[in-house]
Every structure is written in C-alpha cells, then in structure tokens.
C-alpha cells in the first residue's frame, strides 16, 4: 500500500510535468507469484516472508501497468535490479548470500537500470508500463508458470488499495 499511497499522492504534480516518470523497483521474485487479491494483508495461512515479498513485487508490476494505462502523460516503468550484494540480501537471505556471494552484482550494477530509466531519453521512447532488467524490457510472466491474472483481479487490486489508502489518510493527523 506504501507504493500506492506515495505514487497516487504525487500523480497530480507529475501530470503537470513535461517529462514525468515513475520507476518502481520490483524483483524477479515476483515471477513465481500470481496476483492474489483475496489475502492482501497476508492474514491467512502460515506466514512466509519470501512469498509475501514476491506477492508485493507482483502487485507493484500490476500497479505500474494499470497506472501506465490511466496516466498517459507520465512514463511508468518497473524494474528488477538483478541480485546485488546489498546489506538487505546478506541479512534477509543468508543461505542464498553464502551460495551466490561470488556472482552477485555490485550495488552500482544493481542501480544501473533504475538510473537509466530515470534520466535516459531512450527509456521514454519505449512504451510506458514495461518491466525492465539490464535496460531491456523483459516478460512479467514465465512461460507455463500460470501467473497471469484476469483483468477483473487487477481492477480489484486497484479498488482495494484505494480503500486501504483512504483508511490511512483518514487516520493521519
């Protein structure tokens, strides 16, 4: 809901700018998840932080696609930085880090595509709403993974996030 609240709060300002861009940093981890609108708060079943993370990253991809359709004056992109050697990877995924530490990207390599999306005129010549890795649009679904969602689920996600965000707005001083 944080990505939704921040971005929707900025949309009126961004609509007025000539080269407005919104870039969301997602993760390739979202490729293993289908959008699940029935449990957005992860309140049922056993909590699995890795899958909740992947679900949140899938939601970010859907948000980006939906915003790109609704706001034609703003260029939306979502990206996967690749697996980079960061403190977050070291602490949240210690086994993965130990196995992969010699092949992980540097932080600068991980940041390359998001910086390119933010400043490159080449990036805005590509369609809005795409998912990027290494400065290239890449698919948001793996072949045969069955992670595609029906349009009504994507619409429902937007509605539910708007409802959640209204609760936060009404409770803030």
Residue-wise pLDDT for 38-75, tens only, equals 988 888 888 888 889 999 999 999 999 999 999 999 99
Which of the residues 20, 25, 34, 53 is marked catalytic?
A: 53
The domain ranges of the chain are 1-167
pLDDT on residue 173: 60
List the structure tokens of 135: 């400065």
**Mean pLDDT across 104-118:** 96
Active site residue 53: yes
The architecture (CATH level 2) of 1-167 comes to 3-Layer(aba) Sandwich (3.40)
Distance CA 36, CA 126 (A): 29
pLDDT on residue 43: 85
Strands 21-25 and 75-79: parallel
Whether the pLDDT of residue 172 is over 60: the answer is: no
pLDDT on residue 171: 63
């Amino acid at each position: 809901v944080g990505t939704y609240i921040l971005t929707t709060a900025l949309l009126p300002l961004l609509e007025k700018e000539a080269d407005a861009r919104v870039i969301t940093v997602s993760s390739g981890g979202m490729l293993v998840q289908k959008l699940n609108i029935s449990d957005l708060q992860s309140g049922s079943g056993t909590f699995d932080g890795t899958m909740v993370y992947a679900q949140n990253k899938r939601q970010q991809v859907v948000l980006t696609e939906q915003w790109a359709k609704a706001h034609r004056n703003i260029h939306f992109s979502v990206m996967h930085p690749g697996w980079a050697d960061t403190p977050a990877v070291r602490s949240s995924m210690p086994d993965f880090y130990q196995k992969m530490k010699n092949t992980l990207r540097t932080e600068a390599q991980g940041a390359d595509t998001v910086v390119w999306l933010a400043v490159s005129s080449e990036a805005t010549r590509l369609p809005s709403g795409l998912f990027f890795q290494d400065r290239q649009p890449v698919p948001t679904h793996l072949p045969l993974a069955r992670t595609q969602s029906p349009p009504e689920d994507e619409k429902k996600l937007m509605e539910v996030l708007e409802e959640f965000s209204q609760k936060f707005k009404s409770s803030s001083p």
